[in-house]
Structure 1
Amino acid sequence: MTQIANDKPARAAGSAPAGSVVGGGLLLAVISATTFGLSGPLASGLLTAGWSPGAIVLCRMTVAALALAPFTIATLRGRWHLVARQKGQILVYGVLAVAGAQFCYFSAVATMDVAPALLIEYTAPAAVVAWMWLRHGQRPARLTVLGAVVAAAGLVLVLDLTSGAHVAWSGVAWALAAMIGATAYFLISADTGTGLPPLALAGLGLTVGSLTLGALAATGLLPMHGVTTPVTFAVGSPPWWVPLLLLGLVTAALAYATGIAASRRLGSRVASFVALLEVVAAVVFAWLLVDQLPGLMQLAGGLLIVGGVVAVKLGDRRIA
């Protein structure tokens, strides 16, 4: 993998000014985090209805891969030699960062509360900072460390862990596995040395992930079961295929494409911390879909997360 985990915003001759690149990257990162945040509440409804985590993830990735296929082909414009040259990275991205992260997160949600599962998975930004330090010698600035601490404190408040949420050890293990996949997602997404357009990487990764889970399902190693009854949410009971389409088109195709594009502009460290906003989005969507109204402590936690992201960005500017 060339230039893996690049943490510098992309700069090219004749490109847009740095400010517009970063501003556009932040907008894309917020869109990605918001759409990713919708996945948990949607999947929770399907799990309650009787769907297995494997079936949800396979349907989600297949729909997303099919939706992005025309864009993947168009952005490559016949440059299939890039796919051959980066086949190892694409394989790792599809299996670990896409299929692995999604399946492990939904498996965690099936065995423990959503809040602690998200908190464990979103230790990934700290893992990104540690990787950049240990592997590439990019020592984090004090503001970056402070931002990590502030954001972690905000997560505790947003997830309302002080109320005594139940934590199952099997769920913890799944959530930790999801954290590894999320870390790989941020690191590989920020690699600007592959030559692969963001849409191409997203589409190819989702295709590899779909084929991987499909093979596991065909061999019987991955349980697959679903139902065709309506799925109950606070806003109504839509047909089973509605949340599956939303999972595939919005929380996967759109979320991955914008997330990769954001990482290319912001670098893995900053993009991973902005992605913490997914937790805030998940709380809001949980309120709308399953009637869980966030309290004042959770709102205060959201402000801390935003403050932590700002501190990380300011600290990132001090890195040579």
Structure 2
Amino acid sequence: MSDRRKRVGVTNKMVAYIAAGVIHLVVIGLVVFNYSFKQEVEKVEAFDAEKISTVNASVIDDRKLEEQMDAIKEKDRQKKEQERRERERLEKLKRDAQQEQERIKELQEKKKQEQEATQELEAQRKAIALKKKQEEEAEKKRQEELKKKRAEEEKLRRLEEAKRQRELAEKRKRDAAEKARREQEEADRQRLVDQLEAEERAAKQQEADRRAGERTATVVSKFFADIQRKVEAKRTIDPSFETWRKSVVRVTVSPSGRVESVRTIESSGSPQYDQAAEAGVYAASPVPMPDANQFPDAVKRLENFELIMKHPNAR
């Protein structure tokens, strides 16, 4: 706000200086011109008077006298024309000076309006500053009252907390004695319950193990039979082989049923028959396997097993 007022003041001063200079130049020009014009008129009039006296004194004919009269009239006309121009020029200078005065008056009015606007803005700024100060003082007072209230509340809370802690300590002491008595009774009762539950769990575990073993054996038997059928379906045996031939192979599979290895552990006596038996097992991959999450024991037993590879036409 201060910078703007400074700029407005500098601008108004410059305008005032320029206007004053222009008015002085116009006035000086008018004075110089009037003086020069009067000197010139006086010279012309003196010259004309001398000429006329010379003409009157001399003997000239009418023609020359008429020419001289015409010249005098022309000069008089020129003089009047010059005076007319001068009057017009002076009037124009007067109008220009008047316009300049009006422009200066407008600038002064504008300056006055800007000063009034500046004063109004300054008044608004002071009002805002005063309001802000009042609000800050009110907020400071409110914070002090709030701080005082919180201190009183904190003091009261600490007194109540100290009282509550004393009561709680006494209660904990009573509860501890009662708890110790109940815990001893509960410990005696729990020992008896644990003993009975342990005996019951042991009996249930034995029964569960027996049933799990039976279930695993059933699942293994079912999937082993399925694997055997799939391998027999995939195996190709030359009809020329004797029907009494058979071989035993050890098969290793992944939990997903993919055949990883096949090895003959008991030969049929014919390498060609043994190779055909091994190829049939590889061809059956992947073999059916039980669900690993539901039957983990069965899957583990089926990951490595033996197969008896009899002749398809054996009795």
- TM-score, length-scaled by structure 2: 0.20
* Larger RCO (alpha carbons 8 Å, 6+ apart): 1
Please tell me whether Structure 1 or Structure 2 has the larger radius of gyration of its CA atoms.
Answer: 2
Task: Flag the structure with higher helix content.
Answer: 2
- TM-score, length-scaled by structure 1: 0.20
